[in-house]
């Protein structure tokens, strides 16, 4: 087996693992209790090349008298397109009161959106294709 085949298979397995983690965390978050929180930071940084822009959203919340700061909007992932990223930041402006869903077993783990998503399926499918290519094709 060539090095290239191993790299392709490894990338496929990483995608499958990431998809599994995303689906598992999203399913767990569906049962988490909620509390109120406030958006503390909300920014969309556009790169000069237009391809590598980023979103950063942070929120403060309190559970059992303990203050926390969360950074996870959704376990389904962030939007890929710049316009969708800008819309996400617009939906969570600094100072906005929000529902925060937190893990009762680990209140420092929280998320803003817990709606079911099938986005993980695309990553899993891509991962399976890469594994199959690595195993059954000459690369």
Most confident listed range (14-18, 74-78, 80-84): 14-18
Checking if the pLDDT of 80 tops 90, the result is no
- Tell me, what's the pLDDT at 51? 65
Alpha-carbon span 103 to 62, nearest angstrom: 12
Specify whether the backbone of 64 is left (phi greater than 0), alpha (psi in -120 to 50) or beta: left
pTM of the model: 0.78
Is there a contact between 7 and 112 (Cβ–Cβ < 8 Å)? no
């Amino acid at each position: 087996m060539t090095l290239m085949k191993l790299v392709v298979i490894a990338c496929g397995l990483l995608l499958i693992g990431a998809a599994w983690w995303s689906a598992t965390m999203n399913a767990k978050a569906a049962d988490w209790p909620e509390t109120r929180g406030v958006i503390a930071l909300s920014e969309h940084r556009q790169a000069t090349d237009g391809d590598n822009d980023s979103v950063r959203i942070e929120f403060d919340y309190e559970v059992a008298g303990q203050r926390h700061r969360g950074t996870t909007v959704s376990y389904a992932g962030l939007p890929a397109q710049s316009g969708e990223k800008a819309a996400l930041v617009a939906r969570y402006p600094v100072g906005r009161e929000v529902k925060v869903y937190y893990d009762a077993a680990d209140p420092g783990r929280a998320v803003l959106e817990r709606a079911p998503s099938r986005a993980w399926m695309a990553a899993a499918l891509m991962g399976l294709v890469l594994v199959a290519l690595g195993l059954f094709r000459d690369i």
